[in-house]
């Protein structure tokens, strides 16, 4: 999932289930959808599109809507997923931004029919728990990835444990990240991590500019794995933890796991599913 600019608070850890989210198509999941809520990024074309669509189809308050229609780019799609995470609302995005990897093509005709025929993709975020040097405990959710990043010119020095067992005693690097399958085409791919099919049930653990050991390219982990980063020499080599765009500075320990009790539902036009887009990305040159 392309990189966005959203953070969450610890309230995002409340258990949620999106009704019918396990069904592959909306018509099988629930009665026909008619109540739409429109949200838009701050781009002029997105704002204009929202006004036209709301006039044409009505604009139901988000808490009463069947589906949230997000108008913008990939970053705004992530913001919308974070904003309505606790509500469990399916999100149908239409591209009024730049890249649009997470968005459907923009079109004003037959929108209700498109949404009723859409295919649902269910993803699970990562839950991050970060302990800072001054003893604060912060929690956040990440749809794409949780990243450990050096704060200064000094390389980060990390110890990595998986399910309580140390797997990497010392990693000198610019950082490291844990990526969801949905996020594997974003920062993870830029850091030379693997693209992961959505149904693979694995997470990517990927170093960022590893200095020592130079040849370590990361690992694929079961989606049930719990990853713990211990920051070595944190005063000399300060490190930030970032869950999507929610940053916690000066951390000493960060734990990451998949939040399987949270379902996030995105809707895609039939024939243009998210799974198909991820597959196409693997053959891009």
Residues labelled as active-site residues: 74
Given this model, what pLDDT does residue 27 score?
45
**What's the average model confidence in pLDDT over 133-137?**
97
pLDDT digits (tens, 9 = 90+) for 11-58: 322 333 333 334 444 444 456 888 999 999 999 999 999 999 999 999
Query: Quick one: three-class SS letters along the chain?
Result: CCCCCCCCCHHHHCCECCCCCCCCEHHHHCCCCCCEEEEECCCHHHHHHHHHHHHHHCCCCHHHCCEEEEEECHHHHHHHHHHCCCCCCCEEEEECCCCCCCCECCCCCCHHHHHHCCEEEEECCEEEEEEECCCCEEEEEECCEEEEEECCCCCEEEEEEECCEEEEEEEEECEEEEECCCCCCCHHHHCCCCCCCHHHCEEEEEEECCCECCCCCCEEEECCCCEEEEECCCCCCCEEEEECCEEECCEEEEEEEECCCECEEEEECCCCCHHHHHHHHCCCC
pLDDT digits (tens, 9 = 90+) for 136-146: 999 999 999 99
The domains located in the chain, with CATH, are: 10-124+262-281 (3.40.50.10330), 126-258 (2.60.200.30)
pLDDT digits (tens, 9 = 90+) for 45-97: 999 999 999 999 999 999 999 999 999 998 899 999 999 998 889 999 999 98
Specify the higher pLDDT residue, 279 or 17: 279
**What's the average model confidence in pLDDT over 125-142?**
97
pLDDT digits (tens, 9 = 90+) for 173-227: 999 999 999 899 889 999 999 999 888 999 999 999 999 998 899 999 999 999 9
């Amino acid at each position: 999932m392309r990189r966005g600019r959203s953070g969450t608070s610890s309230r995002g850890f409340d258990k949620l289930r999106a009704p019918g989210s396990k069904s592959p198509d909306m018509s099988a999941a629930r009665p026909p959808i008619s109540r739409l809520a429109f949200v838009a990024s701050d781009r002029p074309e997105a704002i204009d599109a929202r006004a036209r669509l709301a006039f044409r189809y009505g604009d139901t308050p988000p808490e009463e809507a069947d589906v949230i229609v997000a108008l913008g780019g990939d970053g705004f799609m992530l913001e919308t997923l974070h904003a309505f995470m606790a509500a469990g609302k399916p999100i149908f995005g239409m591209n009024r931004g730049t890249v649009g990897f997470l968005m459907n093509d923009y079109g004003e005709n037959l929108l209700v029919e498109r949404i009723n025929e859409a295919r649902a993709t269910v993803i699970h975020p990562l839950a991050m728990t970060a302990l800072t040097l001054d003893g604060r405990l912060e929690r956040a959710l990440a749809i794409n990835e949780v990243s450990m990043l050096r704060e200064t010119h000094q390389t980060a020095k990390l110890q990595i444990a998986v399910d309580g067992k140390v797997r990497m005693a010392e990693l000198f690097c610019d950082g490291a990240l844990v990526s969801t399958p949905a996020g594997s085409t974003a920062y993870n791919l830029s850091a030379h991590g693997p693209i992961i099919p959505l149904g693979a049930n694995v997470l990517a653990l990927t170093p960022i500019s590893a200095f020592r050991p130079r040849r370590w390219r990361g690992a694929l982990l079961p989606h049930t794995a719990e990853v713990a980063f211990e920051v070595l020499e944190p005063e000399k080599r300060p490190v930030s933890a970032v869950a999507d765009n929610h940053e916690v500075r000066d951390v000493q320990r960060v734990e990451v796991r998949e939040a399987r009790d949270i379902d996030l539902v995105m809707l895609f036009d039939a024939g243009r599913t998210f799974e198909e887009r991820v597959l196409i990305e693997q053959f891009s040159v």
